[in-house]
Amino acid sequence: MAEQTVSEKPAATERPGKVEARPVRHPWQWVGVVVIAILAAMMINSFVTNSKWDWHFVWRVMEYRPVLEGLVKGTIICTLGAMVVGIVLGITLAVMRLSTNPVLRGVAFVFTWFFRAVPRYVLLVVLGVGVLYLYPKLDFGLPFTDVHFYTLDVKSVSSGILVGIIGLGLSEAAYMAEIARAGLLSVDTGQHEAASAIGMSRGKAMRRIILPQAMRVIVPPTGNETIAMVKDTSLLSAVPVTTELFFQANAVANSTYLVMPALVAAVIWYLIVCSILMVGQTMLERYFGRGFGGQTGGNKQSWRGRMLSLRAGGGGM
């Protein structure tokens, strides 16, 4: 009996139809939104209906001339000056910490250790009162001799704002040194090797290759430090500095006995200044973050291409 073979054909695979995906419902999100909206409405209603806030007096304090002078001189100018000192000195200390020279590493470590350990308020008191008491005059000449070329009257140059900038700047430099060091260490060692391979000196590689890449790590904490410095200027009363925002607002509160409205005026000015700084920080983060983490910028040239073009063109700083 002949065997009958049956050829089995594979079943035709049918393409599935359109799958309609339905998003997962999150009802508790709407509950949270409703609760937050109710709380916000209650707060706004309290601000508007409670006469003790005295918003008319708040606006008057914000426009008060001594308060505006304190905002500009003691808060904004002192913040900018202290951050310039802190950033420049901090980056220098970070490079010293990463140096192969043990003397430079030791000096940077001692500086960072000291100024991170001393509270800023105590440091401002020491600089504002103690230094002037200990060294009313500084003589410049040959060490350990009576030969002096120039004598500086410390009292004549130790204005309150200047002492505040120096004190806050030295303290900030210790923190910026660690921030900058972390940023420099975040750059891959291959970047150092590539820069050395095309003939760049250590300093040139640091300026043109390493620091630009480290800035994406340095900028966010530096922005936080700048915002914190705005608030730390309220410590300038230790120097003492009277042309400062909080000092002047507090003086208005003490003279009028309207404490909360005067302090709210200072709070609003702090919020305005810090909000502007946050916008600037965001713009800097976008600028230095181009090409990293999926971000793309207008200049898509790779670091390798930049280094090769520098070598071919002989460009440098």
At 180-236, the pLDDT tens digits run: 999 988 888 888 788 888 888 887 888 888 888 888 889 999 999 999 999 999 999
Q: Is the pLDDT of residue 80 over 90?
A: yes
pLDDT at position 146, please?
A: 78
Overall average pLDDT of the 122-137 stretch: 84
Residue 311 is assigned to a structural domain of this protein: no
pLDDT at position 234, please?
A: 93
Residue 173 is assigned to a structural domain of this protein: yes
pLDDT at position 114, please?
A: 96
In the chain the first and final C-alpha atoms are separated, in Å, by: 97
Q: Is the pLDDT of residue 314 over 70?
A: no
pLDDT at position 17, please?
A: 66
Residue 262 is assigned to a structural domain of this protein: yes
pLDDT at position 296, please?
A: 41
pTM of the entire structure? 0.77
Residue 61 is assigned to a structural domain of this protein: yes
The residue segments making up the domain with residue 284 are: 56-140+147-289
Residue 18 is assigned to a structural domain of this protein: no
The model's pLDDT over 238-275, given as tens digits with 9 standing for 90+, comes to: 888 889 999 999 999 999 999 999 999 999 999 999 99
pLDDT at position 315, please?
A: 47
- Domains contained in the chain, number: 1
Confidence tier at 292 by pLDDT (50, 70, 90): low
The model's pLDDT over 142-160, given as tens digits with 9 standing for 90+, comes to: 887 777 788 877 777 667 8
Tell me the HSE value of 116 on the side-chain side, using a 13 A CA sphere. 13
Q: Is the pLDDT of residue 131 over 50?
A: yes
pLDDT at position 9, please?
A: 54
Residue 236 is assigned to a structural domain of this protein: yes
Which tokens is 206 given? Answer: 């640091």
Query: What CATH number is associated with residue 168?
Result: 1.10.3720.10
The Cβ of residue 289 has, within 10 Å, a number of other Cβ atoms equal to: 17
Residue 299 is assigned to a structural domain of this protein: no
Which tokens is 2 given? Answer: 């002949």
The overall average pLDDT reported for the chain is 84
Residue 154 is assigned to a structural domain of this protein: yes
